[in-house]
Amino acid sequence: MTRWLLALTLLSGVAHGFETIDNNLYFPAVAQGHRGNTSASCNGLGYPALTQNNQAKITGTGGVALNFCASNQGSGMPLDACDNANGSRRLCTITGNPIRGLATSGDNSFLSSSGSDGDIGHCNSGQQLTLGSASQYQFGTISLYSACTLTFSSTRQEYRIQSLALGGAKVVLPAGDYWIDRLVVNQGGEIETRGNVRIFVNAVEFNGGRLNAAKTGSVLLFGYQNVNLNGESLVNGLVYADQALNMNNASVINGRATSRSLFMSGTTAINDKMSPPRHRGDRSLRV
C-alpha cells in the first residue's frame, strides 16, 4: 500500500503527531467527497456537493463516477467537466457515496504555536533568511512581501506558526510537518518543498500563490476548515479539506483532492498526477 510516513522528531514540546495517512484510503481517485470520520449518510450530512461551473474540469477520472453525495448536474455543470479513459470529455457523474474521512480530534488535533520564538515582520529584496533550530520551532507572525527567501532549518521535522503571509517571497520547507494557524500566499508568493512535507492549516487562502511549483518535494496541504484557491494559484500535491475546497478563477491542482464539498468555477482544474511507488518498500508520496 502507498503510505506516507513522516517520522516526527521527538523533541521538546511535541505532544503528538498526525496519524500516518494511507493515500489509497483517503485519496483513492483524482477527486472525492468525504463524510468526516463518521458513518453519517448523505442525508445526515446535508448532501454536500460537487459543484462545477463555467469551464471547470477534472481530469483523470477514467470514466468512473466520483464519490460525492450530490452535484449540480443539470444546473450549470459543463458537459465536458470530466473525462473518459480514452481521453475524451464527458459530464461528471457521482456515486452518492462519499468516502470516510480523517479524524480531526484526539491525536489528530491541530497543534497551535505559542509564538514564543518570535516574529518576522518584513524582509529585504534578495535577502536569504534561515529560521528554526532544535529548540526553536514555535513562531508567531511571519509576513514577507519582498523578493526574499526564508528557509526553515532541517534540524527539526516539526514547526508551528501562528500566521504566515507571503507576496513576492519564497519559503523553503524541508521534510516534516508544519502547523500554520493562518496561511495566506498571494501573487508572487511561493512555498517550495524539499522531501515529504505535510502542511496543516486552520485557515488557508492562496491568491495566485504557488505550492511545490517546481516539484522539488512531495506535499500534502491539509485544511482543518475550508481550503480556498483563487486567481492563478497552483498546487502540485495532495489537498485535503475537512470542509469545503473552493477553487476560483484559474487555480489548478496537479495531484488529488479530498473534501467535504468541492466548488469549481472559471477555468479551474484538478489533474490526476498520482503515480505508483517506485518499488515495494517505497512509502514516499509521488505527485
* pLDDT given at position 279: 32
How confident is the model over 246-261, as pLDDT tens digits? 999 999 999 999 999 9
Per-position b or e across 191-221, b if 16+ CB within 10 A of its CB:
bbbbbbbbbbbbbbbbbbbbbbbeeebbbbb
Phi, psi of 26 (to 5 degrees): -105, -10
How confident is the model over 126-143, as pLDDT tens digits? 999 999 999 999 999 999
Query: What kind and span of H or E run contains 25?
Result: helix 23-26
Q: Grid coordinates standing for 226?
A: 475550508
Residues 6+ apart with CB under 8 A from 161: 113, 139, 140, 142, 178, 179, 180, 181
Q: Grid coordinates standing for 70?
A: 450530490
Residues 6+ apart with CB under 8 A from 180: 160, 161, 162, 163, 164, 199, 200, 201, 202, 204
The amino acid that residue 136 corresponds to is: Q
* pLDDT given at position 287: 54
* pLDDT given at position 273: 87
Contact (CB, 8 A) for 200 and 180: yes
Helices (H), ranges, 172-277: none
Instruction: Measure the CA–CA gap between 23 and 67, rounded to whole angstroms.
Output: 15
Q: Grid coordinates standing for 61?
A: 477520472
Each residue's pLDDT expressed in tens, for the chain with a length of 287 residues: 344 433 333 333 445 689 999 999 999 999 999 999 999 999 999 999 999 999 999 999 999 999 999 999 999 999 999 999 999 999 999 999 999 999 999 999 999 999 999 999 999 999 999 999 999 999 999 999 999 999 999 999 999 999 999 999 999 999 999 999 999 999 999 999 999 999 999 999 999 999 999 999 999 999 999 999 999 999 999 999 999 999 999 999 999 999 999 999 999 999 998 643 333 333 345 45
